[in-house]
Structure 1
Amino acid sequence: MTNPANPMSVPASDLPQILNLLEMAITSTLIHPPTAPRTTPTPAAHALSAAKSSITTLPHSGLGAKETLSHLLTEILPGLTAQSTSPHYYGFVTGGTTPAALAADIIVTVTDQNVQVHLPHESVSTDLENAALSMLLQLFHLDTAEWRGRTLTTGATASNILGLACAREHLLREKLILAGYIPAEASVGEMGVLGACVEAGITGIQILSAAAHSSIAKAASTVGIGRRNIHDLSLPAAPWEFDLEELERRLEAGSQRGVVSIVVVGFGEVNTGMFTTSIREIRALTTKYGAWLHIDAAFGIFARVLAGAEGAMGDVGKWADGLELADSITGDGHKLLNVPYDCGFFFTRDPALLTSTFLNSAPYLSSPPTATPAAIPSPLNIGLENSRRFRALPVYATLHAYGSTGYEKLVTHLVTHARGIARFIYRHAAYELLPAGAGGEEEAVGRVFVVVLFRAREERVNKRLKERINSDGRMYVSGTMWEGREAVRCAVGNWRVCAEGWGLVEEVLEGVIKRAAEEKGEE
């Protein structure tokens, strides 16, 4: 019933309509996109229209929940990113939301847990987060007993910040102990980066990488290392690969100058989706020179799901061999796990490195003495956030619902779908599959994971290729640069591609070339 004293209460008469509107909102995320070319306004027109219909002045008296929900569905929803929940959203390497994860996320919103302190006698939330992290390790064939430092984050950027912070803590801690500090006092979290470097006799920290994701630069700035101390050692013809000779030279020179090193390896290069193949050699060098090895496997970690598979998929599973050699690992749940934004995860072996950096000591934010054993730390002490949404529940739900076999089938479908697109592009006279290689079709297609990089051969068409594809309205891609020229990324990640062929993609790409030829004839 309505409480007249509470303006936020809902009239009972409005509830049926509100529930119908909520059902529309949920159902709209599960409906496939139209299969006919766009005849309605473009995504840009929808976005502009939605912006104009939005209010910018705080109303004195609100219109109520029912009218607002109607406004959101009819005027705002069309202006959000086109195709973002469809199987043909190929813009960024993101998935959709599995039915189990969607249901769990609704529960997350309804219960509105703040998962920051381990309170086992009050809420099961931290226990479920611990269970979800354990199941993730099992999904990726990583030893749960070995990877005891683990937490959920907002995404790969936050996980990379944790990775560099742990690396910084470990490297400087080791030097501080050598300088005579007792382990309990050797903490960058207590001394600060500058103080720790001075006391340890360290002249700098360098990050050595090959085509690192842009979030590594943000992480380096955040943890006090600095963007200018990132050095790209990638091979020109294969930027996902390290120049191993230069890597050793930099490691050796750094150690002689009192510079400690963090080596960042990408499993799944952002433009091509390709993997570093020299991980064991890199591990040997980092061990030799006392460097930290961080692997940013935001979506590449999902190749591990196929470890032990047969045939071509088994080969894909081997691409992520060596992930277990890392000192820290970044992964993204809102990519191929297909759980909602925002969800990332971070793994490292020594949980003490996390608490040294992220400890939040306040009496009112402590677990009670009865919260034993202390196997589950309070999340606010091992990550960036104090206020944390219960993002573990969709992870727990989707792994509970589909298991390792379900995800093996999902990743197989994603790779197969991407390779179908790649094969079509390779055979098409008007398109070029990237990166160019000396091998034939099977080699070119066989190196595709879930990202297909390509361009139109005719520069006039290629200049606006992304816009030409997206204006059709049936699929969505993102643009990038490759070797100084525009290119398009087609990233396959949505769970519904298991029920979709790539025929629609072929139709759209054929239509782009046909329309471009017609435009040329009219000039």
Structure 2
Amino acid sequence: MHPQSVFKTGSPPPSNSTNPIHPTAAHFLTQLLSTLSALPHPVPDPQTITAARTILTHHLPHTGLGLEHTAQHLLSLLPSFARTTAHYYAFVTGSVTPAAHLADLLVSTVDANVQVHLPQDSLVTEVEDVALRLLCQLFRLDEREWAGRVITTGATAGNVLGLACGREEVLNRRLRARGVDEGRGGVGELGLLEACIRAGATGVKVFSAMAHSSLLKAAAVVGIGRGNVVDIGRVEKPWEIDLARLKEELERAEAEGVVSIVVVSFGEVNTGRFDGGMEEIRKLADEYGAWLHTDAAFGIFARVLGSEESGDGGFARGLELADSIVGDGHKILNVPYDCGFFFTRDSRVLLATFVNTAPYLSPSSSPDGIQSPLNLGLENSRRFRALPVYATLCAYGVSGYKDLLSRLVAHSRNIATFIHGHGSYQLLNGPIGDIFVIVLFSAKEDGLNHRLKKAINDTRKMYVSGTMWSNRPAIRIAVANWQVESDELEVVKEVLQELARQT
């Protein structure tokens, strides 16, 4: 039977087929590009979603639909999906650079599981290691100093790693001081409760300011608990840690036998603002034996801009003082969802928690020092997320990403300037010169403000997310897409001016 005919009947491909890409794929991609060109807006209208919902297959067919029929079905569903266009401003979501897109096609084609370092059999783990080294170079971090590094699914997983490493290390210090054999101690071996008992610790607390919700989830996952994440933001600048309060809390924790983790947000989720005082925070962390973790999901990209360039690189000054750093690739790096990265100074603290000891997953002997990724992170089954990272960094380099960041920052500040000068709107995260890639604003008139998010998104010309600020609804415009150009401002102005005229 001809290979194409078995696809038409809905049967699996023949066992002797050696080509994982069927000839239908080329025609499908041509149709995909044609369909996308007819979809100018980032989100579909309700009628399109309703129509697509009616054609979903809710019952598993006994005889498959076949590849060609399924390909057409997928194209029929495409208009109902939200897409990350240049006017998609919600959730600090990038798109996918052309280089990353090509690499991701390759990832699905080879379908590698990047878990065990087997350098004689495959290069995939080495590609991940190289991609992480290139990220260190992009962010001006010494790759020799940040030896513990791994690709993650995103900043949420990265925050789990950060708190797990912090929990492990701060308790290990107390265990070592009590003479407990390091090989027999630690949370990874004993569990949190037993480790606390043996260390003479009464608990673990996390101190932060306006922490991202994923940090609370991470605290729950690693056994610290959401209730032990303490907000110590300044009253006048709630995204910044109150240094006097931090000292008080660390002193109290030490007196009560509590071990501590301090988390700094490099890019607060609502405003994009950066925490100050990293040098002072580092000193306090050292004084009281606390772990210093940074959630830099998108803020780490400020380091791409040198401090000599309008001071923007200074936004992320002090990031290198942390014990662990987490960032997102699917934000400003513009690689496919889901992708993040985690850095810490010593891979041994990762291994203490995440080591996987199954004999069949043991790596071969290798002098290159590369750890098997499954021993450094949450997942044993790992998609080849590093390849799009590697491809996009090779394709565009430092200068390409500096250009991208400059465009994103300029577009954000142009939007902020327009909003600041408009009588119907209030800019909430000024001054304009301090804005990175998020613009936070509201309408001055309550009626417009309460319906503003829906009204903007109903135009289908741009897509934003909402939040609460000072007990009022507010709008976040997050600029992260590589496709953004200077003329995109006119769309934003047109939408906001029209809504203001309607009040």
- TM-score scaled by length of structure 2: 0.95
Does the Cα contact within 8 Å between 2:168 and 2:187 map onto a contact in 1? yes
- Contact kept? 1:172, 1:200, Cα under 8 Å: yes
Provide the C-alpha distance between the structure 1 equivalents of 2:308 and 2:164, rounded to a whole number of angstroms.
35
Pair 1:34-2:40 in alignment: yes
Q: CA deviation at 1:135?
A: 0.3
**Secondary structure of 1:89's partner?**
coil
Q: Which amino acid aligns with 1:502?
A: L
Shift of residue 55, structure 1, vs aligned partner: 1.3
Letter aligned with residue 488 of structure 1: I
Looking at structure 1, the residues matched to 338 and 279 of structure 2 have their Cα atoms a distance apart, in angstroms, of: 32
Instruction: Describe the shift of the 1:321–1:33 C-alpha distance in structure 2 as closer, same or farther (beyond 3 A).
Output: farther
> Residue 85 of structure 1: CA displacement?
2.4
Query: What SS does the corresponding residue of 1:93 show, helix, strand or coil?
Result: coil
Deviation digits for residues 58-89 of structure 1 (CA, Å, limit 9, x no counterpart)? 11112111111111111x112212xx221110
Offset of residue 501 of structure 1: 3.3
Question: Is the Cα contact below 8 Å between 2:84 and 2:93 reproduced in 1?
Answer: no
Distance 1:368 1:6, change over 3 A: farther
Q: Which residue of the other structure, out of 348, 353, 359, is the alignment partner of 1:357?
A: 353
Please give the residue correspondences for 1:240-389 in structure 2 after superposition, counting only pairs within 5 Å. 240-310=239-309, 312=310, 315-369=311-365, 372-389=366-383
Give the C-alpha shift of residue 24 in structure 1: 2.9
State the SS of the aligned residue for 1:265.
strand
What SS does the corresponding residue of 2:240 show, helix, strand or coil? strand
Q: Would the aligned equivalents of 1:152 and 1:345 in 2 still touch at CA under 8 Å?
A: yes
Equivalent residue number for residue 62 of structure 2: 60
Deviation at 1:122, TM superposition (A): 1.2
**Cross-structure match for 1:69:** 71
Cα shift at 1:22: 2.4
Q: Which residue of 1 aligns with 2:30?
A: 23
Task: Name the CA distance, whole Å, in 2 between partners of 1:17 and 1:181.
Answer: 62
Q: Which amino acid aligns with 1:8?
A: P
Query: After the TM superposition, which residues 125-204 of structure 1 pair with which residues of structure 2 at under 5 Å, given as runs?
Result: 125-204=124-203
Distance 1:92 1:32, change over 3 A: farther
Compared with structure 1, are the counterparts of its residues 94 and 207 closer, same or farther at alpha carbon in structure 2 (3 Å cutoff)? same
Q: CA deviation at 1:44?
A: 3.0
* 1:247-300 deviation digits (Å, cap 9, x = unpaired): 110000100110000001000000000001111111111111111100100000
Contact 1:93 1:335 survives alignment (8 Å): yes
* Distance change in 2, residues 1:364/1:287 (3 Å): same
8 Å Cα contact 2:411/2:486 also seen in 1: no
Shift of 1:171: 0.6
CA contact (8 A) 1:32 1:86 kept: no
Instruction: Return the offset for 1:45.
Output: 3.0
Question: 2:150–2:376: 8 Å Cα contact kept in structure 1?
Answer: yes
Superposed CA RMSD in Å reads 2.1
Q: Deviations over 1:413-458 (max 9, x none)?
A: 00001111111100111111113xxxxxxx6211110000011111
**In 2 relative to 1, CA 261–15 (structure 1 residues): closer, same or farther, beyond 3 Å?**
closer
- The verdict on how the C-alpha distance between 1:163 and 1:110 changes in structure 2, with shifts beyond 3 A counting, is same
Q: Which residue of 2 aligns with 1:78?
A: 79
Q: What is the Cα deviation at residue 92 of structure 1?
A: 1.1
In structure 2, relative to structure 1, the CA distance for the partners of 1:21 and 1:230 (3 Å cut) is: same
Which secondary structure state, in structure 2, belongs to the residue aligned with residue 172 of structure 1?
helix
Q: Distance in 2 between matches of 1:410 and 1:231?
A: 36
1:235-254: CA deviation from partner (whole Å, max 9, x where unpaired):
23321111111111000010
2:53 maps to 51
Query: Which residue is 2:490 aligned to?
Result: 503
Distance of 1:444 and 1:230 partners within structure 2: 30
Alpha-carbon distance in structure 1 between the residues aligned to 2:238 and 2:158: 23
In structure 2, what is the Cα distance between the partners aligned to 1:42 and 1:77? 10
Distance 1:120 1:96 in 2: 32
Deviation at residue 499 of structure 1 after TM alignment: 6.0
| Cα distance, 1:207 vs structure 2 | 0.4
Name 1:458's counterpart in structure 2.
445
Q: 1:483 aligns with which of 448, 466, 470?
A: 470
Q: Distance in 1 between matches of 2:188 and 2:34?
A: 47
Once superposed, which parts of structure 1, at least 4 consecutive aligned residues long, lie more than 3 Å away? 3-6, 14-18, 26-29, 31-35, 498-501
The alignment-based identity, stated in percent, is: 52
* 180-189 vs 250-259, greater mean Cα deviation: 180-189
> By how many angstroms is 1:48 displaced?
2.8
Correspondence for 2:11: 7
- Counterpart Cα distance in 2 of 1:115 and 1:17: 28
Deviation at 1:17, TM superposition (A): 5.4
Structure 2 residue matching 1:411: 3-state secondary structure: helix
Aligned length: 495
Distance, in Å, in 2 between the alignment partners of 1:65 and 1:152 is 33
Confirm whether residue 402 of structure 1 aligns to residue 392 of structure 2: no
Q: Whole-Å Cα distance in 2 between the matches of residues 15 and 364 of structure 1?
A: 33
1:494 matches 2:481: yes
TM-score (norm 1): 0.91
Change (3 A) 1:32 1:278: farther
| Match of residue 421, structure 1, among 415, 420, 434 | 415
What secondary structure sits across from 1:123 in the alignment? coil
Q: Distance in 1 between matches of 2:203 and 2:335?
A: 39
Aligned AA for 1:232?
D
Question: In the TM superposition, what is the alpha-carbon distance from 1:33 to its structure 2 partner?
Answer: 5.6
Contact 2:10 2:64 in 1 (8 A): no
The amino acid of 1:355's aligned partner reads: L
Cross-structure match for 1:440: none
Provide the C-alpha distance between the structure 2 equivalents of 1:412 and 1:63, rounded to a whole number of angstroms: 48
Aligned mates of 2:138, 2:485 — CA distance in 1: 20
SS in 1 for 2:260: strand
Give CA-to-partner distance per residue, 1:184-218, whole Å, 9 cap, x none. Answer: 22221111111110001000100000000000110
TM-superposed deviation, 1:42: 5.5
Q: Deviations over 1:155-207 (max 9, x none)?
A: 00000000000001101111111111122222211111111100010001000
Distance 2:370 2:38 in 1: 41
CA distance in 2 between counterparts of 1:27 and 1:405 reads 32
Structure 1, unmatched stretches of 5+, are 436-442, 518-523
